[in-house]
Amino acid sequence: MQLEVIGVGGAGCRIADAIRAVEPADHSFLTDVFVFDTDAATLRRTVVPESHRHRYGQGTGIDADDDLERRFEMGETHAEELLEALAQGAPHEADAFLVAVGLGGATGGGTAPALVAALQQRYDAPVYVLATLPADREFDPDADAGDTGPHSRTTAATGNAEPPRPTAASNAVATMERLEGLASAVVCFDNEAWLRPGETVADARDRCNRELAGRVAAVFAGGGSDGSVAQNVIDASDVERILGNESAIVALGYGDQDVETSSSRFGLGLLSTDRDVETSEAVSAVETVVRKGTHGKLSLECDPETAARGLLVVGGPPTWLNRQAIAEGRRALQSTVSGNGVLGGDAPRPDDETVFAAVVLAGVESERLEELRAADRAV
């Protein structure tokens, strides 16, 4: 499918950049990647072409004000301008939009609701939101036991200082509420669960963004590449069926395993040939990655059994994609989620040396969102 990615605010721009970086050369799935921010420096740091960067809101005074309510108004004022900026690309060719944003701040969280509403109105394609949730240590001085000292925002590892964001939980909750009923679905990535003890978001963000971008690519870039055809292509309408159009909360799972795809007849790598793959090892690899994808670390911690719908994409070198094992993986996912809407597909990647499973759990219930609401109420 063809996805149009729009990053808004600091986190959104960096995540959009990271998604662009993982687009496989032999399998493009992005119509365009745009980055929007009030901050020129953030835009400059992306590798997105200048034609696809847009600075907005300067000179209004609001860009210097971090009050989220005022930023919601600013979002509404500028939504049309942002849609116009998309005309530098080919938004009409997109099967879906993905608006990436870090919840907790004012810029991205303030702009995303109006931008999502405007995109929904202008285009027929679904508009998904990819949202990071703030970590406790950003707004709660006592949260991270691994900190280097009381109320410290500097880690011993890198010294990456960050100003606290006392309103991060409240901002995240307020933006989530606004997105309800506007976004087709909200894919969440919880920074709290992905930061290591003592790390700040600034320390961890490149690693987190790579992780998230890899999951996004694995889901949205389904299908074959380099002339190899998937047995079961996951297309835009499959993704739409699973993500829905009712602002479902979505968690992404991922598991992979390196596999040997060639063998050397003389032991020195002089004559390397495609290796025969035993059925049992292919089955075992698929089983392993599906298990990791479903029960390993999710982008948002939740009980997979609360999911209303699920999607499984298994990819890798074609000889490793055992059809029966993939079908069995889909059945296993079906028996895990509570609803009965589960789809599965394969993504042959002849040049890869990794078998992977990407899992989408849609309509999940997550305690983390409840924790953020509680933190908001406690302010």
Ligand X SMILES: Nc1nc2c(ncn2[C@@H]2O[C@H](COP(=O)(O)OP(=O)(O)OP(=O)(O)O)[C@@H](O)[C@H]2O)c(=O)[nH]1
| Strand spans (E) along the chain | 3-8, 30-37, 53-55, 96-102, 127-133, 185-190, 248-258, 262-264, 272-274, 309-316, 341-348, 354-362
Question: Which of 1, 11, 239, 359 contacts ligand X by CB under 6 A?
Answer: 11
Chain residue at closest Cβ approach to ligand X: 102
Contact between 132 and ligand X by CB under 6 A: the answer reads yes
Backbone phi, psi, residue 40, to 5°: -65, -35
Q: How crowded is residue 133: how many other Cβ atoms within 10 Å of its Cβ?
A: 25
Contact between 104 and ligand X by CB under 6 A: the answer reads yes
Question: Which of 130, 174, 201, 282 contacts ligand X by CB under 6 A?
Answer: 201
- 340-359 residues in contact with ligand X (CB under 6 A) are none
Contact between 108 and ligand X by CB under 6 A: the answer reads yes
Work out the burial of residue 54: count CB atoms within 10 Å of its CB; fewer than 13 is exposed, 13-18 middle, 19 or more buried. buried
Segment lying near ligand X (by CB under 6 A), choices 80-88, 130-138, 177-185, 364-372: 130-138
- The response to whether 106 counts as a known ligand-binding position is yes
CA distance 290 to 326: 8
Crossing angle between the packed helical segments 68-86 and 107-122, to the nearest 10 degrees: 50
Contact between 102 and ligand X by CB under 6 A: the answer reads yes
Question: Which of 35, 96, 116, 168 contacts ligand X by CB under 6 A?
Answer: 168
- The response to whether 245 counts as a known ligand-binding position is no
- The response to whether 191 counts as a known ligand-binding position is yes
- The response to whether 209 counts as a known ligand-binding position is yes
- 230-289 residues in contact with ligand X (CB under 6 A) are none
- The response to whether 107 counts as a known ligand-binding position is yes
Continuous segment of H or E residues that includes residue 367: helix 367-378
Contact between 106 and ligand X by CB under 6 A: the answer reads yes
- Residue (7 or 310) nearer to ligand X, CB: 7
CA distance 220 to 257: 20
CA distance 310 to 241: 10
Contact between 9 and ligand X by CB under 6 A: the answer reads yes
Question: Which of 137, 165, 309, 330 contacts ligand X by CB under 6 A?
Answer: 165
- The response to whether 108 counts as a known ligand-binding position is yes
Find the shortest distance in angstroms from Cβ 269 to ligand X. Answer: 39
CA distance 309 to 304: 10
In terms of Cα–Cα distance, which of 60, 16, 67 is closest to 38? 60
Positions that interact with ligand X (CB under 6 A): 9-11, 14, 66, 102, 104-109, 132, 134-135, 138, 165, 168, 189, 191, 201, 205, 208-209
